[in-house]
Amino acid sequence: EMTREKERGLGMALIFFCFCFFLCNRNRLKASREVESVDLPHCHLIKGIEAGSEDIDILPNGLAFFSVGLKFPGLHSFAPDKPGGILMMDLKEEKPRARELRISRGFDLASFNPHGISTFIDNDDTVYLFVVNHPEFKNTVEIFKFEEAENSLLHLKTVKHELLPSVNDITAVGPAHFYATNDHYFSDPFLKYLETYLNLHWANVVYYSPNEVKVVAEGFDSANGINISPDDKYIYVADILAHEIHVLEKHTNMNLTQLKVLELDTLVDNLSIDPSSGDIWVGCHPNGQKLFVYDPNNPPSSEVLRIQNILSEKPTVTTVYANNGSVLQGSSVASVYDGKLLIGTLYHRALYCEL
């Protein structure tokens, strides 16, 4: 079991490598980019989220799940010794509050380190929550059943697979079926660094089911957020270091073929889909260098993009929110529901806005 000293040593080594990486990769990190503020009039920070809400997923009934407390080698953390968790907020309440969900016995809460999340509603209305987990910096996908009456999660299954060496995000397509992004080909931290430094483009997307596991798309710089269109025909993948969103067509055998790539001027993280319009909402990092080398006097900024008609010749890209870090640092996700916008971050606070 990795001790705290080893973890910190690993973190320091990665920070050193990051500095070398930054010198050679300023453009991939948008290292000189600053943002101009775009404010929304009705926003407040969500109470109880102080150490990151890396991903957010909202059910059709307005229940929002937050993945909180992610710890990652070389990344800042405001609560390095506190395990992560899953919070829930009912957006239909007049003044919604974030509450922590209880997790069933037998699941190792002490090492819970949640990253990307995704929900799936079965034909019998059972709600499944899929969570990318990094216990002791390993890679698993945890499948839970959401029990609304008890405000709890029943742990059903832990998925580990050699084709899932560095999982970042998932989109669920069945009760035990999902697409996942690997942001690196390797799982070893040093080899990951080398892969990024050498710009190998070995990151990929994997389809997982109990019967079949396969790579379905590859050649990404660093595959990050992933989601599915409301009609289930297209998979969207964010390539964070290439500043791109890939549109992939989904086939009956679950394979994917690339249709188009949308280039943006920012580091795109998680993707959320507005089920009514099909619009893509993106949590972005305007300046990746500030994200990785944390300076409280010059914190990472936040940016939320809304992409309309991504399949058209000229999609409409709108900056809905931008902040220099004075309010919100390191936005990683933006999700909408009925005129409400939730913005989560890699290791900072979370914002609730009325649009």
* 90 carries a ligand binding annotation: no
* 239 carries a ligand binding annotation: no
Spell out the residues 6+ positions from residue 350 whose beta carbon is closer than 8 angstroms to its own: 45, 46, 49, 53, 56, 66, 98, 342, 343, 344
List the catalytic residue out of 44, 76, 115, 246. Answer: 115
* 224 carries a ligand binding annotation: yes
Query: Is 285 annotated as catalytic?
Result: no
Residues present in the chain in total: 355
Q: How far apart are CA 139 and CA 127, in angstroms?
A: 23
- Report which residue type is found at 204: N
Q: What is the dihedral of CA 192, 138, 239, 200, to 10 degrees?
A: 20
Question: What DSSP element (H or E) covers 342?
Answer: strand 340-345
Residue 314 phi/psi, 5° resolution? Answer: -130, 90
* 117 carries a ligand binding annotation: yes
DSSP result, 211-240: S-EEEEEEEESSEEEEEE-TTSSEEEEEET
* 124 carries a ligand binding annotation: no
> By three-state DSSP, how is residue 98 classified?
coil
Measured from the Cβ of residue 38, the count of other Cβ atoms closer than 10 Å reads 13
Q: How far apart are CA 53 and CA 45, in angstroms?
A: 12
Q: What angle do CA 24, 30, 36 make, to 5 degrees?
A: 155
DSSP result, 146-199: EEGGGTEEEEEEEE--TT-SSEEEEEEEETTEEEEEES-S--SHHHHHHHHHTT
Q: Which of these, 348, 222, 331, 323, lies nearest to 281 by C-alpha position? A: 331
**214: its two tokens:** 């396969």
* 279 carries a ligand binding annotation: no
Give the residue numbers of the binding site: 54-55, 117, 168-169, 224, 269-270
- Name the residues annotated as catalytic: 115
Give the residue numbers of the binding site for Ca(2+): 54-55, 117, 168-169, 224, 269-270
